Amino acid sequence: MAELTFWTGTMDAGKSTLALQTNHNHAARGRVGRLFTSNDRAGESVLSSRLGLTHDAIEVGPELDFWRFVVDSLTAGARIDYLVCDEAQFYTPTQVDQLAKVVDELQIDVFCFGILTDFRTRLFAGSARLVELADRTEVLQVEALCWCGKRATHNARTEDGAMVIEGEVIVVGDVDDVLGPPAEIAYEVLCRQHHRRHLTAARARAVSLSAEPLPFGS
């Protein structure tokens, strides 16, 4: 039986790497799939991993109808055994409903990958709908770490190293190098304590007057 599976974790937890690995594993067994992504850091129609791996993908905009895309492809003679859907947090709830219909009505496996909450700690609409509908929701076992060494549970947006809690929900950026100079706009993974206190790695260095982040929560 086909399944709708949702793999989730914070930024920097390896979701896109797993998406590419999933595609590789299924393709190596002779299965034929389609890859989708939305607002990837590498640009339009590219599924990329921070490890440097990339693959062409179909860009998901709000106008894309997954059900119609798959049905039209099958009608035209194409073979589709599975879908790999990265950055699924950016999909609309209606699109997630369409993916569930593809699984149930066409018996095509759908593997979704995305983060649960935005930089304001609020659920993305696409992720919320996936939690509601997925046959399985799996949390990635590779733990991203806060600058303090604790497990990172929250995604923070930074501007020039300072954390912000207001603004557009979708702003493309990558996880910042906490040991390098702050990027103009970037993301950083933090534990709940330091997210709540808006204490980024850059601010921690400034407070400690040291080149290294504080080795403990403050």
Determine, yes or no, domain membership for 216. no
Do 166 and 127 lie in one domain? The reply is no
Tell me what pLDDT residue 176 has. Answer: 54
Query: What is the C-alpha to C-alpha distance for residues 121 and 192, in angstroms, rounded to an integer?
Result: 10
Tell me what pLDDT residue 180 has. Answer: 59
Q: What would the two tokens of residue 172 be?
A: 């493309």
Query: What is the C-alpha to C-alpha distance for residues 140 and 8, in angstroms, rounded to an integer?
Result: 6
DSSP sequence for 152-213: P-EEEEEETTEEE--S-S-----B--TTSPPPSEEEEEE-HHHHHTT--HHHHHHHHTSSS-
Tell me what pLDDT residue 134 has. Answer: 98
Tell me what pLDDT residue 218 has. Answer: 45
Determine, yes or no, domain membership for 195. yes
Tell me what pLDDT residue 83 has. Answer: 98
Do 203 and 103 lie in one domain? The reply is no
Give residue 209's pLDDT band: very low, low, confident or very high (50, 70, 90): very low
Instruction: Give the catalytic positions in this structure.
Output: 87
Give residue 211's pLDDT band: very low, low, confident or very high (50, 70, 90): very low
Sign of the CA dihedral running 53, 185, 115, 40: negative
Determine, yes or no, domain membership for 31. yes
Domain count, the chain: 2
Do 68 and 159 lie in one domain? The reply is no
Residues 6+ away with beta carbon under 8 Å from 131: 6, 116, 137
Provide φ and ψ at 58, rounded to 5°: -90, 125
Q: Report CA 27 to chain centroid distance, whole Å.
A: 22
Region 142-166: mean pLDDT is 85
Q: What would the two tokens of residue 68 be?
A: 């119609």
Do 133 and 165 lie in one domain? The reply is no
pLDDT in tens, 84-138: 999 999 999 999 999 999 999 999 999 999 999 988 899 999 999 999 999 999 9
Determine, yes or no, domain membership for 30. yes
Determine, yes or no, domain membership for 71. yes
Do 190 and 112 lie in one domain? The reply is no
Q: What would the two tokens of residue 133 be?
A: 């509908």
Type of residue numbered 104 = D
Do 58 and 109 lie in one domain? The reply is yes
Tell me what pLDDT residue 214 has. Answer: 47
Determine, yes or no, domain membership for 148. no
Provide the whole-model pTM.
Answer: 0.78
Tell me what pLDDT residue 123 has. Answer: 94
Do 63 and 91 lie in one domain? The reply is yes
What's the domain range around 200? Answer: 154-208
